[in-house]
Structure 1
Amino acid sequence: MRRNTKWVLALVGIIVVFAAIFGFSRFGGTQASNTKLKTVKIGVAPGPYGDMATKVLGPLLKKKGYKVVTKEFNDYVQPNKALNSGEIDANLFQHTLYLKTFAKANHLKLTAIGETPTLGMGIYSEKISQLSDLKQGDTVSLPNDPSNLARALQLLAAQKLITLKKNINVATASTADIATNPDKLKIKTLDAAQLPQSMSNVTIALIPGNYSWNAKLKPSKALALEKLKEDYKEVFVVKTSNKNSKFAKAVKSVLNSKAFKQAIAKSEFKDFDKPASWK
């Protein structure tokens, strides 16, 4: 009986050793496969999209064989030029309208291959909890650059705080295009980067998404959020010559996947305006 017991124990020992070796080789194989991931560099600007690229897109693209790293640029010019020169493989920082305008002006062949959830402009306040609390003569701060100013005026009009003149190009609207201002709101235009700091001196501030994000203003706390037109939705961009590459196809697959939608729903990006295709 003892001999049988020893034999059984010896056999178990052999099995355990083989299992350990097999398990280690499998583990080693997994580790080795990680070293085979192809690194892709995505250009971003300050704001939420670098976080989205690393926290949401990164893990999903890893399953497709890609390791995502980001390169942050401090302006909206260099990410497209870096993509065109091959310094980066893609970028995620701009909306469709900007891409079309910039690419045409700079003779660049760049293509959007999909949309991501986008944080629009929001109305924020440290002094009131709803827009109906606005009083006659309250001060409103708006971004002073032409594109964002036009969007801010459209957002004020959408909230029925002002009206704009008829037959104007709303995409280029300025304060001169305000038709009515029932509450006689005092309009103060500032550099967009200064808008979060202006909240202590004004009743409401209309702040573009990237600046509100950097100031840690939660979209859920906005008194109103911009309903973005499709041309203002954030897009994932590659060189036109690479729009049908394996990487581009992997990105398209991820952006259209149920897993991406579910990951966004569980993330800090859940309140962002969603691509029209999600509805």
Structure 2
Amino acid sequence: MPDAALPTLLGIRSHERKRRPMTIATAFTTLKSKRRTLTRAFAAVLAAATLFGNAACGTAQNASAEGIAEPVDGKTTKVTIGVCAGPYGDMVEEVFAPLLKEKGYEVSTKVFNDYVQPDKALTSGKIDANLMQHGNYLKKFSADNSLDLISLGQTPTLGLGIYSNKYHSIDEIADGATVAIANDGSNLARSLGVLQQNKLVTIKDGVDATKASVNDITSNPKHLNIKPIDAAQLARSLDTVDVSLVPGNYSWAAGLDPKNALALEQQDDGVIEVFAIAGQNKDTHFAKTVRDLLGSDEFRQAIAASKFKDFGKPASWAE
């Protein structure tokens, strides 16, 4: 290729060639300069795009960090409430959901198979609240796992029951019978408390009722073989053990009739179910709405008209 043709290919006008004859070396120098200019321009555009993208992401994170949004301009806010198998999922769907819909919240439930995952999901933000645990469990699990979870209030509760496919009364329980109880700390202690209420064991004096363990038993007159297992397996264990102490949510899910229990626990304040939320959301409009709802006549009337009407009630309902 002749030297004269190269400048034309590089986009250099003819009058420029006349003013300044260009050699091949000069042409390549010009080409490199243009490439540097384009590279710098591209870099500037990329930097601006990155800055904009980061700003946009920052806005999204800030919005997420603000917690559960308040319904505005007639729009509903979607909230997910974690539950375990049993009556409290039904309670959320049949009582809470309609009442909260009137307040601008569209409720859905997420069902978990154990007591551990709902609180972890609440901490991570995968759900917005949960209704699956009593107050003692919430306090102990939160403390043991360094979680910031709080109760917004109590709900009617189906108590723990002593069930058996073999015996029809507490007095019938034989010497050496195998008795299944929950293996998580707070429900294990709760189960021992129910056994003590029915004079089947005695727990040593001075032991925190929420922290008692099998090692704290000082008297076991029927020499019961106490077998801690996962709470979710307690109802199913009735086919393989003599007696099982089943928390209300799992007895409900298994279709056990409380009327057929050998005994039901005498509920104290610590074993009443609570509506829990992450601490960072305690001051949200949603949290205030739920607190107000739990203390309202509207909620009590809805419970009275539901299949949960015979559940144990929070002490505050008697005030």
TM-score range, shorter chain: 0.7 to 0.9
TM-score (norm 2): 0.67
Question: Which has the bigger relative contact order, CA under 8 A and spacing at least 6?
Answer: 1
Pick aligned residue for 2:219 from 180, 201, 225: 180
SS at match of 1:199: helix
SS at match of 1:156: helix
How many residues align? The count is 245
Partner of 2:160: 121
Whether the aligned pair in 2 keeps the contact of 1:219 and 1:272 (CA below 8 Å) is no
**Residue 50 in structure 1 maps to residue 89 in structure 2:** yes
Pick aligned residue for 1:95 from 119, 127, 134: 134
Worse-superposed segment, 193-202 or 114-123: 193-202
Whether the aligned pair in 2 keeps the contact of 1:136 and 1:184 (CA below 8 Å) is yes
CA RMSD of aligned residues (A): 2.6
Residues 86, 175 of structure 1: alpha-carbon distance in 2 compared, 3 angstrom cutoff: closer
The amino acid that maps onto 1:44 is V
Cα deviation for residue 122 of structure 1 reads 0.8
The amino acid that maps onto 1:94 is Q
The amino acid that maps onto 2:133 is Q
Cα distance in 2, alignment partners of residues 132 and 219 from structure 1: 18
**Amino-acid identity (%):** 54
The amino acid that maps onto 1:142 is I
Partner of 2:299: 260
Residues 258, 216 of structure 1: alpha-carbon distance in 2 compared, 3 angstrom cutoff: same
Residues 195, 115 of structure 1: alpha-carbon distance in 2 compared, 3 angstrom cutoff: same
Within 5 Å, give how 1:71-220 maps onto structure 2: 71-220=110-259
The amino acid that maps onto 2:239 is S
Residues 178, 101 of structure 1: alpha-carbon distance in 2 compared, 3 angstrom cutoff: closer
Cα distance in 1, alignment partners of residues 226 and 144 from structure 2: 32
**Residue 223 in structure 1 maps to residue 254 in structure 2:** no
SS at match of 1:171: coil
Cα distance in 1, alignment partners of residues 116 and 225 from structure 2: 33
Whether the aligned pair in 2 keeps the contact of 1:122 and 1:223 (CA below 8 Å) is yes
> 1:156-215, CA deviations, whole angstroms, 9 ceiling, x for partnerless residues?
110112222233343333333322233343434433333223323444221122322221
Cα distance in 2, alignment partners of residues 133 and 112 from structure 1: 40
Residues 195, 77 of structure 1: alpha-carbon distance in 2 compared, 3 angstrom cutoff: closer
Instruction: Decide which structure has the larger Cα Rg and report it.
Output: 2
SS at match of 1:166: coil
Whether the aligned pair in 2 keeps the contact of 1:142 and 1:195 (CA below 8 Å) is yes
TM-score (norm 1): 0.76
Whether the aligned pair in 1 keeps the contact of 2:136 and 2:186 (CA below 8 Å) is no
Worse-superposed segment, 37-46 or 153-162: 37-46
The amino acid that maps onto 1:96 is G
Partner of 2:69: none
Which runs of no fewer than 5 residues in structure 1 stay unpaired?
Answer: 1-34
The amino acid that maps onto 2:315 is A
The amino acid that maps onto 1:159 is N
The amino acid that maps onto 2:284 is S
Cα deviation for residue 137 of structure 1 reads 4.0
Partner of 2:17: none
Partner of 2:102: 63
Residues 109, 157 of structure 1: alpha-carbon distance in 2 compared, 3 angstrom cutoff: closer
Partner of 2:23: none
Cα distance in 1, alignment partners of residues 116 and 252 from structure 2: 20
Cα distance in 2, alignment partners of residues 119 and 184 from structure 1: 29
SS at match of 2:103: coil
